[in-house]
Structure formats: structure tokens, C-alpha cells
Structure 1
């Protein structure tokens, strides 16, 4: 709950410090005194738009600090812990601070940690729920009616389930639509690739094969020269009749061996010549085998030449090197498989979309059943409150029309309408068409009070929601708000003495001026001052013994 509010240089407030307590608190004051200033300042602290025009004239910045006492393990406590913003020293407290400057800049803190406005807005509904004086205007809007019903039903899990089912269905339909739009392009691409893959399949060039074909073609094309030159080498090295290399080396070895006794230093040279002789003989033997093995195979040459030519032609068609053909073959085969898979997926997408649609409709129907149950309960409670609020023949019905085949939305397919009748024999009609201004105000108040009772938000604020209400009806309004204050902290800005008297505590807003400057203050009233303030509300500025007596009676009846 809200325990303290500090406001400095905000609108007509120079500095304001107010303590709040549990139960119902009434804020009263003369017209124009700024009774809603605390709610406006708190709204700034909760993430409302920062406007430099709200800074008090002459000041450079405005500051609002709101202190709350948390419910242990409650939603606000859980959120703070999830964001690592809890105050370790006082884990059951939360302090919000907002500063706006004349330049229009805004800064915010939660428990001393800098935060952005989005974080303030996420935390705000977990701490405070503010009902404005124009709430009855929203009550006629279908989207607000649906929101109120869902808030009363407290079925966030079902709403999330429907929203997720809608997201899945929408995603599948979007994918299917995109696939259909791309289908013609994919088919043309698949047809081209299929032809190319079939051509490459038929050629079936393996990795590294082109390099081998080139080498084979070169060898076969030059087989005569290879045989001739290898035979020449054999003769030059070993088999020639005159002066072959082997014979010359052997002659040199023989002559040098005869000189070893004369000079042993020749031994290394002789040794190398002996080894050379052996190498020459082995080389000649290898060349002889090579020469004998060479055969000119015209068929193999033609085949090799043909595959090389085909490889070059295919590579030129695809604008790549012949050696890259096997890689291209793999790439195109893989792309064709993906295109075929996409075509299969599109063929099967109808089944997936229909399954998602069926799941969504099932979730929406389940949500609708819960709404209808909650609508019946809420309708009965509001009808009862209407009779208490001086509409003895009032009947309120929340019609939930479940349209099974209606266009899907994240909130289901229900058409929710608040219907009312206030006179005997009058049929139920749309709230906006039937209710007068005063009736609408009272119905709105009944709806807000009952809906608020279902909320987990610890602090509820009502800003002059009792406009258009008077007399015995006003007393009933006060009792409803006091009853609500038994389980929630209720802060109510009001101009009605019957409502203010029901409060557990009362604050008065005063506006003073010295002719040049205007200032608003808020003071907590004791019993005697409450009597005076209630007497003013009853009789205007002229406070008499009669109005004071009436004020005392109102307080006595409330307590």
C-alpha cells in the first residue's frame, strides 16, 4: 500500500509530504483547490508522460517520491526481485522517484536504482489502480467492457493460452501465404535446377577426376614421344654400343681403383662413382620397363578427350572452372531437395493450419465459457448495487456472444456488451443507448467498485467517481467504498460529505495565494476538523451549528 508521498515543485505545489494509512482515505477541498494533485503526482511516479509545463513556475525541476509497503511474495515483490530492484535493507518497502526538468528531460529510480519509464509502467499496475472521474465514458466502449469482464474473471492463464494459440495460427497462416506467393518462383527455379542436376548426374564427374583426365589425355597424346625419348635415354645410359654412361663410369672406376694404393684420398670419389654406376643401371632398367609398357590406346585417348571437352563445355555453361563442377553438382542437388521439401511442406501446410485453427477455436470457446460464468456473477452483483444506488428497478446484464467462426483475435471471438434497463417494462438495451448521465455515473461506480474488489492491486484510487450522485445514493456510495477499504487501501477524491464521512481518515486540500504566488497544501484532519470540513461540504462556506450537527451525525453513523 501507499504509505508516503513527497511532492516538490509540481504544478501549484511547492512542497508536500503526506502519510497514507490502510483503509479508506477521503481527499476533500474547495473546487479548484487541486484535490487531484496527489493523484496526478503519483501518476507521474507511476510512468505517466512527463511534461515540463507541470513544473512549478520559478523552479528548474519537479520531483515526486512515492513510498509503498509491499505484500510479501505478492506480484510487486516478485516483479522487483525478477528485475533485481528489491531493497535488501528493507525488502518489504518500495520507493519510486521521478524527476522532470525544465528542459523536458525525465529521470526515474526504483529503490535508488535508475530505471526507464517502461519499467515504471510495468510495476505501476502491481501497486496502484487509478479510477478516473471520466471512467464512465470508457464504460460504453466495447473494448473496455471486455477488459473489465476479464479483470473480474481473473483468468489471465486462459487469456495467455488464447493469445498463444492465436500467435501460432497467425504465424502458420503467414508462412503459408508467403509460401503460396513464392510458389510460382520456386517452381520455375526447381524446373531449371532439376534439368541442370539431371545433366550433371549423367556426366557424373567425380571429385578430382578432371585433373586425372587432363593428365591421362596429356600422356596418351604424347605416347610416341615418351616412348622414343625413354628408349633414347636407355641407350645413352646403358645399352648404347659406344660410350654409354654406364660404360664410361665403369671405366673410370677401374682406372681409379688402380691408383688407390698410390693415394687413398681417391677413395671417396671412387665410392661415389660406384654408387652412380648402380643408380645408372637401375634407372636404365626402369626406363626400359616404362618404354616397353607404353601403348597408344586410341579408344582411351578418344574417351579422355571427349570427357575433358564435355567438362569444359559444362563449366563454361555454369561460368565456373571445370574442377568446380563436382561442388556445383552437390550444391544444386541440395537446393533442389530444399525446393522439393518446401513444395511438400506447402502441400501439408493446410493440415497444420487447420490443426492450429481448431486448437485456437477450442481455447477461445473455453475462454468464452469462463467469461459467461463471470458475466452472470458480475451482472447479478452490479444489478444489486444499482438497486442500492437508487435505481430500484435496475437490471444489468453482460451479454457474451460467442461467435465460433468469427475472425480470430488475441482476445478470443466473443462479442461482449453491457446491457441495462432502469425502468419497469423497458427491455435490455446497450448501456450507451439507455443510461442517462447520472445513471451512467452510478452504474460506472458500481462496476468499478465490484471489479476493484476482485483485483490483487493493494491500492485503489478513485478520482471524483461519485460525480452526479447525491443524497441517500451518496451515502450508499460511501458505504461501498468503505467496505472496499476493508480489504484494500482506498484513496478517494470526493466532493460529497456522505462519502467523505465514511472514510477511515480524511485529508483536506487547501490553496492559498499572496497575490503573486499560489500554493496548494494537504493536511490530515482530526475529528474536530473533519466535522468542520464535512459541515462546509454540507452547507458551503457558511458553517452553522446545524451543518456541524449533521456532520457529527454522518461521522457517528459511519463509525
Structure 2
């Protein structure tokens, strides 16, 4: 296996598809040809690849009474960066250089798709298939009629990679800037009103000089002031009980202390008790002093009580207004100030981002204009080369590249151009989009011409040319075969052909035969040996009756490959 290939179809396994029972085909690098009589099932192989790469499925394709059809394609994808990116996006692991794609279609219409045994949506097969294989011909999967592919081919031929990269990078920057602007969630219409409201709310709260724990302190002071009479009366009662009456606690303790001292004269066991009583007396005197100090500093101003009550009521009112707790008004004030700061900063940031956006738009427009100029220059050369090559391939018409500037001023990642391949397949016919004009064989030959002209040293995906030899013969068929073989030096080529001139140019040859046994029809596909190839090409030359002359000609054709 050539290690330089970045996309190589190595195996195709088909079960119960149309008239195919079971089929397991191994493919090699280079050019593989498939031959066989009309109706043998050659196109079914192409259909199978289309299905495994995401084409729409019809339950009528399921063989006979089988409940399902099952198709598996195995690709060698070493160093295929695009495939690896898509696998990572799908969170699919790839531990080696092989990629397994499987599609199961059931009679009830259900379809299941898998990549490396991981279930995926059918669209994933289409996405990853773009980097694996290209089908040229009258087939649902062919990409040549897609404008996306046409743009890629033109840019590849013109070597626009650097300018295209700059356009894409500038576009990505522009999108990122627009996302940042949208994330700020602010516009000019509501900025001033929001700013005014925040300033008013902050000023309203600041007037009360709200500090942390302010409400708790005010509530405590209000509680004290509103109970001032009771506090003063109770303090005096306590003072009286402690020391200001004949029956006060301090007097009783003093008398007790004197009696204990008398006992100490009789029995030394009482010696520690007088000190304990003395300690109690000291604490009583300290308590008395604390109470007196409190009373001396106690303010019973009625106006202060009214002021406290008014401020507490105001705080409760604001708390209801701002839907928070009175004790959390300080936190709410800080939140409003933070919002104001963020609002002012966001407007400044947005203005800066808008300026940057305008600069990027200007840069993008300059780059996309340069890209368009390069595309127009490339299209002139590209058109001439393709048309010349089409004439070599027996097509008398011409191909032109139509480049239209998009007028909606909406930047796009790949430039501001609408690119369409226009073709006239016969002299005098008007140019029309390639998808609306070309037949299957013409699409194949146009694809071949483009690939020959665009072929680079770097290998691309595998390619299938179906009906490439339709309506041609003789020297043109020889040219087609040689061009396909040339293309296969750096790419894996598959060709379904009816012409011996094309079949003889292959490196690998499969014969497709339809057999009927016990009223059951099935397709058999066999890889031919060199001797078998001679016989098959001789059959293609002479028909059912192979002659010595046709065998000799077949050997000569294979020798000249």
C-alpha cells in the first residue's frame, strides 16, 4: 500500500443489495476497472458506495425477501487532516489508519449509520464522504454539479490558498467581534434610560448613608430608645437591690463576711471564705458602676426616637421597593454601583468593538476583491485548458466559469463570489449550469478533464468515473484510458467501462457477471488474473465469439498500458 495516499478505498462489503447476495471486494492503489455486460450490476457497486456515503435510500434496493441490506466501506486515511477533524468533531476515536463506514437499511424504512462502530446521523456520512471519494457520472452523489465543489476546483487550480486563508481568517475575526458585541446585550436606545435609572437608584440609597449592618444598628438603637423609661426604672431598682437600701445585697454580704471572720478566729477551716465574699462584693460594686455609667450616658431625647423611627421606616420602604430585605440594602447598593460601572464600561467596550468591526469589514472587502480578481484571472486560463481537454475527449462544446459578485454585502468565509461552471455540450448551444446540461458520460469526461488539469503532487480522495466512455470510441477511447491511468499515479481511480481501450489501461480489473440459478438471479464479481484479463478484453473487442485475432489484440493492448 502506498503510504502517500491520504484517502484509499481498501475494501467494500455488500450484503443483500439488489441482485447482490454477498460480496467482499479488496481494492488496490492505482486504476481499477470494472467491466461486464449491460445489466450485470456494475452500477449497483457505485450505488452501494453512494449509500455508504449518505445517499438517500429506497427500501426497493433490498434483495428479495431479505429484511435488510448492509454495506461496509473501509478506507485507509493516514494523515488525512480533514477526516481527523471531522472525527474529532463527532467525538469518534480512530486508533489506526483505517476508517470503517457502515450503513444498514431495513425493509421498514429504518436506516442506521456507523463510523468506526459508533452510531452517527446520516449527514455525518455525507460530510466525511466529501474527503474520501468523488463520484463522476449520472449519480446522486456526484459533486461536480455542486457550486461548492466548483469553487474548490477553481481555487485549487489558481493556487488561491494564501489569499483564501486571509479572507477566512478575517471573516472569523469579524464573526468573533459581532458575537462579543451581541454578548454585551446593550443598545443605544436603552443605554441612556438605563444609565439614568441606575444613577437615580444609587443617589436615593446614598442619601440614607447606608452602611453595612446599618439596619441592625438602627433597630437596636430604636429598641433602646422606645424602652427608655422601663430601662431607667429597672436600672434604679437593680441599684437599690445591690447597695442602696438597708436590706441591699452588698449590706447582707458585708454582714456575712464579718460573721465568717469571727468563725475564722475559732476554726482556721473558714480562712478562704472571707476572700470569696470579698470577690463577690467587688463584682457587685463593678456592676453598680457599669449601671451608673450607662445611666449617665443614656440619651432620652424624644426627637432622636422620632428620627430613628423615620429612618427605619424609610429603609423598610426602600427594601419593599427594591424587593430585598432592609438589612441587605447595603449589598443592593453595591450591586447597583457594580451594574452602573459595568454599563459604562460595556458601552465604551462596544464602541471600541464597533470601530474594530468597521476596520475588519474594510479589510475583508479589500481581500475579497483581490480574491475575485484572482478568480477571474484563473477562470480565463482554466476555461481554455478544460475546453481543450474536452475536445481531446471527444466533446465538441466548451466550458466557462461564471463568477458573479454577491450583492447583499454580507461577508462569507470563502469570499463574496457565486461561482458556476457553465457548459455547452455541442456547438451553437447556449451555456447552461453543468448540472442541468451534462449527461452521465459527459459529467464523467468533464470531471476527468478537470482532474487532469488540476492534478497536483498532493494526493486527494479516491475518484470514480462512471460512463466516462459513453458515446465515444476509437482514438478518443484510448486517450480517455491513458488520461485515467495518468491520473491514477497520484490518486486511486475506479472506472466503470464498456470499452476495451479503457479497460486495458487499468492496474486492477474486476469482471461483473449476472447469473441465474434456480430462478434466482445474483451478481458475481471476480478479480481477473492477467490471462483472464486478456480473455475479457478480447470479448469486449470481438463480442461473444472470441477469436485468435481478438486475443492477440487484447494482449497487445495490455502490453502497451
Specify the TM-score bucket, using the shorter chain as the normaliser.
Answer: 0.7 to 0.9
Q: Deviations over 1:478-516 (max 9, x none)?
A: 221121122222110012233223323432210011352
Given candidates 30, 35, 42, the residue that maps to 1:28 is 35
In 2, Cα distance between the equivalents of 1:314 and 1:434? 73
CA distance in 2, matches of 1:41, 1:237: 108
- Higher deviation after alignment, 442-451 or 130-139: 130-139
Q: TM-score, normalised by structure 1?
A: 0.80
Q: Give distance in 1, aligned partners of 2:322 and 2:106.
A: 67
Shift, 1:198, TM fit: 1.3
State which of 90, 106, 118 in structure 1 corresponds to 2:112. 106
> 1:496 corresponds to which residue?
499
Distance 1:243 1:267 in 2: 26
Residue equivalent to 1:86: 95
For 2:278 and 2:45, the matched residues in 1 are separated by 115
The question of whether the paired residues in 1 share the 8 Å contact of 2:218 and 2:312 is answered with: yes
- How far did residue 410 of structure 1 move? 2.7
Number of residues of Structure 1 aligned to a counterpart in Structure 2: 548
> Contact 1:386–1:446 at 8 Å: present in 2 too?
yes
* Cα deviation, residue 207, structure 1: 1.0
Secondary structure class of the residue paired with 1:506: strand
Structure 2 CA distance for partners of 1:432 and 1:222, relative to 1, 3 Å = closer
Indicate the residue corresponding to 1:283 in structure 2: 287
Instruction: Say which of 38, 45, 48 aligns to 1:41.
Output: 48
Cα distance change on mapping 1:264 and 1:366 into 2, 3 Å: farther
**Corresponding position of 2:243:** 238
- 1:132 CA drift (Å): 3.0
Give, in whole Å, the separation in 2 of the partners of 1:47 and 1:293: 91
Within 5 Å, give how 1:223-372 maps onto structure 2.
223=228, 226-240=231-245, 242-262=246-266, 270-297=274-301, 300-368=304-372, 370-372=374-376
* CA distance in structure 2 between the aligned counterparts of 1:18 and 1:385, rounded to whole angstroms: 33
Aligned position for 2:3? none
The alpha carbon displacement at 1:521 in A equals: 0.8
- Residues 17-58 of structure 1, C-alpha deviation per residue, up to 9 Å, x if partnerless? 434333322211111111123333344445555665444324
Distance (whole Å) between structure 2 residues aligned to residue 291 and residue 169 of structure 1: 74
Checking the alignment, whether the CA contact within 8 Å between 2:16 and 2:66 is kept in structure 1 is: yes
User: Which of 430-439 and 208-217 deviates more?
Assistant: 430-439
Q: Which of 187-196 and 539-548 deviates more?
A: 539-548
Selected match of 2:209 from 185, 204, 211: 204
- Asked whether the equivalents of residues 3 and 67 of structure 1 are also in contact (C-alpha less than 8 Å), the reply is yes
Select between 357-366 and 446-455 the one with higher mean Cα deviation: 446-455
In 2, are the aligned partners of 1:534 and 1:551 still within 8 Å (CA)? Answer: yes
- SS of structure 1 residue aligned to 2:42: coil
Structure 1 Cα separation of the partners of residues 228 and 26 of structure 2: 109
> Is 1:14 the counterpart of 2:49 in the alignment?
no
Spell out, residue by residue over 1:430-456, the C-alpha distance to the aligned partner (whole angstroms, 9 max, x if none).
Answer: 565997868776444422443466762
Q: Over aligned residues, Cα RMSD in angstroms?
A: 4.2
Question: 1:359: how far off?
Answer: 3.5
> Are residues 339 and 234 of structure 1, via their aligned partners in 2, closer, same or farther at CA, if it must alter by over 3 Å?
same
Seen in structure 2, the aligned counterparts of structure 1 residues 420 and 136 have a Cα distance that, compared at 3 Å, is farther
Per the alignment, do residues 213 and 182 of structure 1 end up closer, same or farther by CA in structure 2, a change over 3 Å counting? Answer: same
Query: Does structure 2 retain, via aligned residues, the 8 Å contact 1:421–1:434?
Result: no
Contact 1:441 1:467 in 2 (8 A): no
Contact 2:458 2:490 in 1 (8 A): no
Structure 1: distance between partners of 2:426 and 2:47:
38
1:27–1:180 distance in 2 versus 1, CA, 3 Å: same
Deviation string, structure 1 residues 69-98 (Cα, Å, up to 9, x no partner): 565x454896799754234xxx6x666555
Instruction: Name the CA shift for 1:272/1:244 in 2 (closer, same or farther; >3 Å).
Output: same
Q: Distance in 2 between matches of 1:29 and 1:263?
A: 136
Post-superposition offset of 1:330: 1.4
Residue 479 of structure 2: aligned partner: 476
Q: Residue 243 of structure 2: SS of its match in structure 1?
A: helix
Deviation at 1:261, TM superposition (A): 4.0
Looking at structure 2, the residues matched to 383 and 181 of structure 1 have their Cα atoms a distance apart, in angstroms, of 56
Q: Deviations over 1:365-414 (max 9, x none)?
A: 4543554454355334313312322457x664435455698432232102
CA separation of 1:200/1:64 partners in 2, compared to 1, >3 Å: closer, same or farther? same
Extract unaligned runs of 5+ from structure 2. 1-7
**Partners of 1:109 and 1:180 in 2: how far apart?**
41
The question of 1:195 aligning with 2:200 is answered yes
SS in 2 for 1:204: coil
CA–CA distance in structure 1, aligned partners of residues 269 and 15 of structure 2: 113
Does 1:146 find its partner at 2:141?
Answer: no
| Paired position in structure 1 for 2:5 | none
CA distance in 2, matches of 1:230, 1:434: 107
Q: Which deviates more, 169-178 or 351-360?
A: 169-178
The one-character-per-residue Cα deviations of 1:404-426 (angstroms, maximum 9, x if unpaired) are: 984322321023243567899x7
Equivalent in the alignment of 1:408: 411
TM-score (norm. length: structure 2):
0.80
User: Within 2, Cα distance between the matches of 1:9 and 1:136?
Assistant: 21
C-alpha contact 1:2 1:66 (8 A) present in aligned 2: yes
**SS of equivalent to 2:490:** coil
Residues 398, 418 of structure 1: 8 Å contact kept = yes
Give secondary structure in 1 for the equivalent of 2:263. coil
